[in-house]
Chains A and B, each alone.
Chain A
Amino acid sequence: MRKSALLTLFTASCALAAPVAEPARYWYNMYYIWLVVAVAIYLIVVIPAIYFAVKYRYRKGNETAQHVQENHLLEILWTIVPVLIVIYLATQSFAFYRVQRNAPEGAFEIKVTGFMWGWQFQYPNGKQVIAFFNMMEDPQTKEYLPLDKIPDTAKAYIPAGVPIKVLLTSQDVIHSFYVHPAKVMEDAVPGRITHLWFQINQPGEYWVFCREYCGTKHSKMAAVLKVVPKEEFEKWYGGPLPIQGKQVSFNIQ
């Protein structure tokens, strides 16, 4: 029973409709594989533990322990099986990670620079967007604004369904660029250029957070991605996308 319920959970997760953003799919796959393994191991250890704890409690008829010092077969088994499981997990992760790291060919390249405390987005044609921490808060109460209350000038336009490659760096200290719907992040390191990629399929507004502690306003160092259909993006951008606009579809099952 328990097993089949887990299995359903697992297949349901794989069949999840295309996530709103890529490469989140690979994160979800890794997540559910881990979850099944972890829950299984937890039960395999805890159920016998509780059983022993009750059965072998000190009581009349069980005043002394019996000695079972070693059991080589059992010990070899619980060494080899975990070795195989973790090697499988790391190898599976390796396979997913290749896709999560390497932007599809023809991705639209944007340069993003972190600074204390905001993000500068530079598009290939020179267009710029700056998201500064004080645009994220209510000028009076200093409270975080919800997505829809943030001024449009602080929003970076992104074409829907197009893979975006972000080249990251920083002007001052280390920040980290976390694309919330795509479930990817990478540090913005001064003096280095790092990269990540994502693709958001569904138009809407999404968060980007700074994920590396960078001083006082770290927790307001967010940006908003305004994802719009390609035509609308081209209008805002002032010209056609300088790529073939190749859309990437995913199939890993």
Chain B
Amino acid sequence: MAVAGVHRPWFGATLKEWIFTTDHKKIGVMYGVTSLLFFLIAGISALGIRLELFQPGLQYMDEDTYNALLTTHGVLMQFWWAVGVWSSFGNFLLPLMIGARDVAFPRLNALSYWFFFSASVLAVLTLLPGNHIRMMWTGYPPISLNDNVGQVAYYAFIIHLLGASSLATAVNLVVTNLRMRAPGITLGKMNLFLHAFLAMNVIQILGVPALAGAVTMLLLDKYFHTAFFDPSRGGDPILYQNIFWFYSHPVVYVMVLPAFGVISEIVATFSRREIFGRKSMIAAIWGIAILGFMVWIHHMFTSGIPDWIKIIFSYTTVLIGVPTGIKIFNWVATLYKGSIRYTTPMLYILSAIFMFLIGGLTGIPLGLPAFDINVQDSHFVVGHFHYVLGMTVTLVAFGGFFYWFPKVTGRMYSEFWGKVALVLIMVGSNLFYFLQLIVGLEGMPRRYADYPPIPQWITLHELQTVGAFILAVGVGLAVLNLVLSAKFGPKAPDNPWESPSLEWLVPSPPPPHNFDKIPHMPEDWDPYNYEWLSKHKKV
């Protein structure tokens, strides 16, 4: 246990301490660095994709390379960035916010990270020629049973490692949250961030086994001659899609619920008031988490399943828009009569809300079979989820990085360069993703290395590539800002945002055991009671 440095803050640790640490803060930082690194790798493969699509024809790579890059991009962006980055936030912040000294099972937590790390190493190895996996992140059989698309065993092993890691983290954080909250922090009073993470981890616990089952069956089909999915031996490939989407739809809420939590924290802090409709926010989080398991068929509207099933699932799918809408309305209403500070994190979050609105509104028609029948597997779908993942989740993650940066590093980032990066990101990605929606409406199929020389398509693709490169410059600036400020930034005060939320009441960076003694939060304390702080300077 005592291997971790006791007197030094996390960044002063030696390599040995990093490797053997069980400190949730160090583990949080390791998740953050790993997922950011993979975000960059996935972003660079995306630029390759975008370059290839600039013009019809194959200028820079052949189809196999394109398909491998796209598989890499899709898998890394989702599992390492959009899911993985929240392990960083969860690990670093959750114990601090509830007044605990660590998570419930610190060694299990370290094991989770090292599973994630092993999966990362394997994923990097798929970048080598000869190791390419080309079955797309969805891995649908029978194409995934075909030797030409890479090794199913390898892919299944990566998913199992990731799954074990996510399950262990989820159990760990749920137990920590439910059993280790300091006296005075009730379920009703705890941060919305904590509610969002609780719901997200419950989804993981219920869903991950389904995905693990799907890839295990794939493995058995390919190497042990079972016939779950192989139609040439009497199996049914649609069965895979059902099991796969039973998890892989809810996983989008694993990516986006934590983002909702972070949005709520930052909007409240910089409006200096409690989130409007706090109870309905909690209800909406759970509504989304539960409904999320009842909509997976919308990924299969053109798979040849019976029509009546599609109709039922179209109703459940659009209904999920209601709790989602409530959250957006509440954030907007929180601005009302606030006293809004436009810091860099707040600007990222407000941009994310406006972009999420587009992401959500373009998601509704995908739940309507009459609409979906023209856009399923087109670039419209890709545009839709880039608004949600590429913009909302990514902007929120960066907003969160900036917001908690002083807490994690004890230093301040550059406000100016943070804002410049945001402008570039917003211009670039809207140019890119909006036209991705349009070219999809025009019929452009998804996962196409090449496309016919239809004049409108060519123009739309050229502009998208320009947008993607502007976006890349913005992201580069934001990352540089974080990296350089961690080393050279000016010293930050312990609580630069003057928030009463518990993580801000400990020193920056927090000492190894967070709290000298477990805090007892008084009756009048609340993570969003901004007047409380001026009355009691210290706990």
Q: Give the B-binding residues of A (Cβ under 8 A).
A: 24, 26-27, 30-31, 34, 38, 41-42, 45-46, 48-49, 52-53, 56-58, 62-71, 74-75, 78-79, 82-83, 86-87, 89-90, 92-94, 96-97, 100-101, 136, 141-147, 168, 172-174, 176, 178, 180, 183-187, 189-192, 194, 207, 209-220, 222
Contacts and interface: CB of A to CB of B under 8 A. Distances in A.
Contacts of B448: 218-219
B18 interface: no
Given A142-B57, A219-B450, 16 more contacts: A27-B374, A42-B361, A69-B277, A93-B371, A136-B452, A144-B56, A173-B143, A174-B143, A176-B377, A189-B303, A191-B236, A207-B443, A211-B446, A218-B67, A218-B447, A220-B450
Contacts of B339: 56-58, 62-65
Given A65-B273, A65-B337, A219-B63, A49 B370 contact: no
A213 B307 contact: no
A32 to B, nearest CB: 11
Interface stretch (B206-214, B320-328, B395-403): B320-328
B354 interface: yes
Contacts, number: 260
14 contacts: A38-B365, A42-B358, A58-B342, A65-B272, A69-B276, A90-B368, A93-B314, A93-B371, A94-B369, A143-B56, A143-B450, A183-B443, A185-B376, A189-B238
B148 interface: yes
B453 interface: yes
B281 to A, nearest CB: 11
A57 B338 CA distance: 7
B533 interface: no
A46 to B, nearest CB: 6
A188 B408 CA distance: 52
Nearest to A177: B302
A220 B57 CA distance: 11
A93 B301 CA distance: 13
Interface residues of B, number: 87
Contacts of A146: 452-453
A207 B310 CA distance: 27
9 closest A-B pairs by CB: A191-B231, A194-B304, A93-B368, A96-B370, A219-B448, A183-B374, A65-B273, A86-B318, A52-B335
Given A42-B358, A45-B329, A144-B450, A56 B371 contact: no
Given A34-B364, A46-B354, A53-B350, A209 B443 contact: yes
A80 B224 CA distance: 53
B318 A90 contact: yes
A178 B315 CA distance: 25
A153 B314 CA distance: 41
Interface string B69-111: 0000000000000000000000000000000000000000000
A185 B276 CA distance: 44
Interface of B: 56-58, 63-64, 67, 134-136, 138, 140, 142-143, 146, 148-149, 231-232, 236-238, 271-274, 276-280, 302-304, 307, 310-311, 314-315, 318-319, 321-322, 325-326, 328-329, 332-333, 335-342, 350, 353-354, 357-358, 361-362, 364-365, 367-371, 373-374, 376-378, 441, 443, 445-453, 530
Contacts of A136: 452
A59 to B, nearest CB: 8
Given A90-B314, A217-B63, A56 B338 contact: yes
A185 B377 contact: yes
Nearest to B378: A211
A92 B315 CA distance: 11
A86 B295 CA distance: 14
B57 A64 contact: no
Contact of A174 (B142, B329, B340, B362): B142
Nearest to B142: A173
A164 to B, nearest CB: 16
Given A65-B272, A90-B315, A90-B367, A49 B353 contact: yes
Nearest to A145: B452
B361 A41 contact: yes
A219 B448 CA distance: 5
A52 B336 contact: yes
Nearest to B315: A90
A114 B283 CA distance: 47
B369 A97 contact: yes
B371 A78 contact: no
Nearest to A102: B307
B373 A89 contact: no
Contact of A93 (B273, B276, B357, B370): B370
Contacts of B276: 68-70
